Amino acid sequence: NGESLVFGNPSDGGPHVVLTVLSEQFWVRLMLVQDLGFAEAFMAGEISVSNLVDFIRFYIYNRATLDAASSSPVVSSLMYLASTRFGNSVLNTASNISAHYDLGNEMFEMFLDSTMTYSCAIWDGPGDTLEAAQLRKLDMLIDKAHLRPTDYVLDLGCGWGSLAMRAVERTGCRVLGITLSTEQKEVAERRIAQAGMSDNIEIMLIDYRKLDPAMYCFDRIISLEMVEHVGYEYLPVYFEQCHQLLHPQHGVMVLQASTMNEERYAEYRHSVDFINKHIFPGGHCPSVSALVAAATKGSRGQLMLESAANFPDHYARTLRVWRERFLSGYDK
């Protein structure tokens, strides 16, 4: 009706955002599913925002109040029921992965660097490039795994092959990379062949649960932001399989993951958010304690945590750079 409402004190600093409601449907979405409702209303053109990034900052600054509003039993139950459609059975996982990674390699090339590495980079100074930061991250994982030329390595969720290729380039080891994306497999195999690494790297289109421990024994397993596709209920199964595939005497597993804050994890686990529904169907970011508990349960205490590191600022910068690169090529 043209009425304007002002909230907060502009003199306090922080983001200044103008939200214009264009449809009454917005209020229904917001009442039912809060932040997901806001996102879908924005996508549907039911609202407009003067600066979307600043609005998200505004949401973060007020998260405690907004999260309390979203934790009512009725809303939580509705969101949990909605989340069950994204289960990670063997059948569902293949379709979930395809829904994201088979969108077309050209789209991912718009914002990734030349290595086609789709995970958090490790930055070194303000002048660092995305490619250098991604290679630094790959080297960090290779160093943590103590890779040797004689090692047989499982690359869980190999993407477009950057980790496998870097590992072979540095050590000369052998790598089996697995993926559920046909488009990733095609590009990875082409890049590997062009680099002359086909004798060292094999790419398979297979679910991790289908690898037979009677046929495969790996000296090292590296899981680079793949566990987010496993799902909470399958975390123990995932670690049980990794344990069975690892060499029993000298096996080492290195895992990099996007994790959820412990305080918010219980509610997150029983709900569905924008990422789950629209970006990564079946996606689930476990908490650190959930990972440790699942590893202990799945391996019957045989997998022992040696070290852990946290680098959220590096992911924030990675996402920021990806967004800038994506928007710069959006018209293409």
pLDDT tens digits for range 140-184: 999 999 999 999 999 999 999 999 999 999 999 999 999 999 999
Per-residue confidence (pLDDT) for residue 152, from 0 to 100:
99
Judged against a pLDDT cut of 60, whether residue 213 lies above it is answered with yes
Pairing of strands 220-224, 152-156: parallel
- 219, amino acid identity: D
48 beta partners: 20
Per-residue pLDDT averaged across 216-231, rounded? 97
Q: Could you tell me which of 183, 228, 227 has the C-alpha nearest to residue 203?
A: 183
Whether residue 227 contacts residue 238, with contact meaning beta carbons closer than 8 Å, is answered with yes
Inter-CA distances, 131 with 114, 115, 122, 138, 168, Å: 7, 7, 10, 11, 18
179 beta partners: 205
Measure the CA–CA gap between 217 and 219, rounded to whole angstroms.
7
How far, rounded to the nearest angstrom, does the alpha carbon of residue 100 sit from its chain's CA centroid?
11
Mean pLDDT of the chain, nearest integer = 90
Judged against a pLDDT cut of 90, whether residue 1 lies above it is answered with no
The most confident of 3-7, 140-144, 227-231, 261-265, by mean pLDDT: 140-144
Query: Under DSSP, is residue 95 helix (H, G, I), strand (E, B) or coil?
Result: helix
Per-residue confidence (pLDDT) for residue 330, from 0 to 100:
79
| Neighbour tally for 194: CB within 10 Å | 10
| Lowest pLDDT segment from 37-51, 91-105, 249-263 | 91-105
Query: Under DSSP, is residue 122 helix (H, G, I), strand (E, B) or coil?
Result: coil
Per-residue confidence (pLDDT) for residue 84, from 0 to 100:
57
Measure the CA–CA gap between 305 and 148, rounded to whole angstroms.
21
> Model confidence at 298, in pLDDT bands (50, 70, 90)?
very high
Domains and CATH numbers, the chain: 10-70 (no CATH), 90-328 (3.40.50.150)
Measure the CA–CA gap between 201 and 120, rounded to whole angstroms.
23
Query: Under DSSP, is residue 175 helix (H, G, I), strand (E, B) or coil?
Result: strand
Residues near 47 by Cβ (< 8 Å), separated by ≥ 6?
19, 20, 21, 22, 23, 26, 38, 41
Per-residue confidence (pLDDT) for residue 273, from 0 to 100:
83
Judged against a pLDDT cut of 80, whether residue 83 lies above it is answered with no
